Amino acid sequence: MRKGFASNARLLVLSLGVFACFAGLATRLVWLHWLERESYTAFLEKARKQTEIELPRRGDILDVRGNRLAASRNLIELGVDPQDLRSEDERKWPELARLLGMPLTQLEPLLRRRFAAPADAEVEGVDAAAQGRPVRWVRLSEEVEESAYTQIQSLAIKGVYGIRHYRRVYPGGQLASHILGYINKEQTPVTGVERHLDFYLRGQAGWRESERDGHRRELAQFRSREIPATDGYDVVLTLDMFVQHIVEEELEAVAKKFQPESATIIVGDPNTGAILALANWPTFDLNRFNTAPLASQRNIAITDVYEPGSTFKIVASSGALNDHLVTPATVFDCSLTSVIYGGKPRSLPRDTHSYGNLSVAEIVGKSSNRGAAHLGIHLGAERLYEYARAYGYGEPTGYPLGGEVAGVLHPVARWDGLTITRLPMGHSISATPLQVHCAMGAIASGGVLMRPWLIREIRDNLGRTVAAYEPMPRRRVVSRETAETMARLLVEAASAEGTGKAAAIDGYQVAGKTGTTQKLIDGHYSTSHHIGSFVGFFPANRPQVQITVVVNDARVLTGGPGYGGTVAAPSFKRIGEQLIPYLGIRPADATVVRPVIAMTGNAR
């Protein structure tokens, strides 16, 4: 055999070289897998797979113009790993304390807490380090803002780090508090939109499976599965922040002036059933919900019932008109104290003034109780009940956020002898302010009862519409002609001769009805505690805005009862006057001449 280049010596050297390499490799393997096994295994344990949860950002709640009523802010929970702290960073601690707004004396013990105290009593003679386990996380602050956190990061204190989380904020404070609801400390939606649309708002958490190194840093190249978080959808409401603000300011004024037990104002578009504003007094700040009494968190507009009083008179009068039993000119003798109905004499309720013959138009305009009783009797118990049901009394309005009560409207079989004369004037029945609002809305919309429209649409975070909600008619209550006739009669009620004259707005035809109810206290109607209300809309022949004002137990300085015309109608006027320029409401009556000061003043 020829050896060629590979002589024995060369082969030997080469073999030794290769052997030495393999021997070195084997030694290293033994070193790693046997001698240093423990430390490297511990290291590998740290570098095992990790699952990281990515929290979604909760969707915003917007008003109809895109203003944010509820948003999620990014805050940082700041903490420290005392094991990682370096002594050379101690000089930075005072600055850290300043940024956290915490005295250094309070911060220092937290930073120096390297070992947790044992659960049981300390064992004498054994120091804390030996007794407790090492502390790897001490919370320094629950909510550090982004700007402060950036400064803290620039300090570069090893071991101090933050965990980002979202916190719900309500930029308007108490604005629309009863509609929005809130998220509590446990991140659970409690009431309102937050709760009922939580499915859309909350989003979906994402997660990521990967590995981390010994320094607990993620090794991105070892990501095996990744499901990104899906942020929550935005909810757009029909509310208008500015209208809501006007309403809440008015409620504040009412509360200051009359010191009522409670008050509610609802503003809506009667043609669609859209709620532009809904507010109650007392109210609360959504950012400080935990300090607010539960009573102030109740949405009175849908949870509290009262006797609607004269605002209910639209039911008997429109019913009688719709059934062609009467015309606006039909006259009733309102001086009678009783009438025969069903073969029995029925006493008629008293009026505040003595009236003689009143036409249907006058009955509505002057809000005659006896006149309304006549109309009820003319209509008959069954039809009166049917109309009351058709107007939505005795059943929920379909308020989309739930929690509303149905009110009380007894079937005819449960009526006593007086109900036929008392129901037409709004007694023997109880309803929520929203029910009363919706019932009047049926007149304003041309005879159609609309469902309250509060949720306009759901949008994803790119602004695309995911779900849109449309106005929803519930049923036709009266014919369009009857509704228009009724609106004309209601204009009289809000005119200089009517009970609601304080609601009149210059240059605009206001249609509306006052209501004053004695409160039931200890089973008796009180003569000193009243619920005053006004429900109306304008312009009367082309309604664009409907406003309902209910003031519960107002204290009138003059000492008289809190009549609807005194405590509620002025609020209607003040709100209406502010809404005219904002919503661009034009007077329906074209013949009304109005000065053009601003235009002529700037004309060139």
Among 68, 389, 475, 555, binds another protein (CB under 8 A): 68
Q: How far apart are the first and last CA of the chain?
A: 118
Q: How far is the CB of 204 from another protein (least distance, A)?
A: 16
Instruction: Examine residue 220 and tell whether it contacts another protein (CB under 8 A).
Output: yes
Tell how far CA 323 is from the center of its chain: 40
Which H/E stretch holds residue 294? none
Among 57, 165, 410, 542, binds another protein (CB under 8 A): 57
Instruction: Examine residue 212 and tell whether it contacts another protein (CB under 8 A).
Output: no
Of 26 and 520, CB closest to another protein = 26
Q: How far is the CB of 244 from another protein (least distance, A)?
A: 9
Among 55, 131, 578, 583, binds another protein (CB under 8 A): 578
Sign of torsion over alpha carbons 581, 585, 590, 591: negative
* Nearest in space to 311 (alpha carbons), one of 367, 370, 264: 367
Among 164, 216, 288, 480, binds another protein (CB under 8 A): 164
Instruction: Examine residue 241 and tell whether it contacts another protein (CB under 8 A).
Output: yes
Among 142, 143, 146, 589, binds another protein (CB under 8 A): 146
Q: If you ran DSSP here, which 8-state letter would residue 380 be given?
A: -
Instruction: Examine residue 67 and tell whether it contacts another protein (CB under 8 A).
Output: yes
Q: How far is the CB of 148 from another protein (least distance, A)?
A: 13
Structure tokens at 347: 């006493």
Neighbours of 495 (CB within 10 A): 17
Contacts with another protein, 292-331, as mask; x by CB under 8 A = ----------------------------------------
* Nearest in space to 58 (alpha carbons), one of 171, 187, 164: 187
Among 221, 224, 290, 354, binds another protein (CB under 8 A): 221
* Segment near another protein (CB under 8 A); pick from 168-176, 273-281, 327-335, 340-348: 168-176
Three-class SS state of 218 = strand
Could you tell me which residues are beta bridge partners of residue 237? 455
Q: How far is the CB of 582 from another protein (least distance, A)?
A: 8
Three-class SS state of 354 = coil
Q: How far is the CB of 146 from another protein (least distance, A)?
A: 6
Three-class SS state of 89 = helix
* Segment near another protein (CB under 8 A); pick from 310-318, 326-334, 522-530, 590-598: 590-598
* Nearest in space to 445 (alpha carbons), one of 318, 549, 543: 543
Q: How far is the CB of 220 from another protein (least distance, A)?
A: 4
CA distances from 84 to 130, 155, 161, 255 (A): 18, 15, 11, 57
Strands 448-450 and 338-341: unpaired
* Nearest in space to 291 (alpha carbons), one of 188, 369, 184: 184
Q: How far is the CB of 248 from another protein (least distance, A)?
A: 9
Q: Answer whether 254's CB lies under 8 Å from 282's CB.
A: no
CA distance 179 to 235: 13
Among all chains, which residue has been given the structure tokens 């599965």? 225
Instruction: Examine residue 595 and tell whether it contacts another protein (CB under 8 A).
Output: yes
Of 343 and 584, CB closest to another protein = 584
Of 67 and 303, CB closest to another protein = 67
Among 50, 73, 89, 501, binds another protein (CB under 8 A): 73
Q: If you ran DSSP here, which 8-state letter would residue 464 be given?
A: -
Q: How far is the CB of 175 from another protein (least distance, A)?
A: 7
* Nearest in space to 69 (alpha carbons), one of 236, 233, 231: 236
Instruction: Examine residue 598 and tell whether it contacts another protein (CB under 8 A).
Output: yes
Instruction: Examine residue 175 and tell whether it contacts another protein (CB under 8 A).
Output: yes
* Nearest in space to 264 (alpha carbons), one of 304, 312, 315: 304
CA distance 349 to 377: 13
Which H/E stretch holds residue 522? none
CA distance 299 to 264: 9
Of 487 and 505, CB closest to another protein = 505
Of 9 and 597, CB closest to another protein = 597
The site for another protein, by CB under 8 A, has a size of 49
CA distance 57 to 181: 18
Instruction: Examine residue 171 and tell whether it contacts another protein (CB under 8 A).
Output: yes
Q: How far is the CB of 457 from another protein (least distance, A)?
A: 18
Among 53, 294, 340, 590, binds another protein (CB under 8 A): 590
Kindly identify the residues of this chain, within the stretch 6-35, that bind another protein according to CB under 8 A. 6
Please give the residue ranges that form the binding site for another protein (CB under 8 A). 1-6, 57, 60, 67-69, 71-74, 146, 164, 169, 171-173, 175, 218-221, 223, 241-242, 245, 506-507, 577-578, 580-582, 584, 586-587, 590, 594-599, 603-604
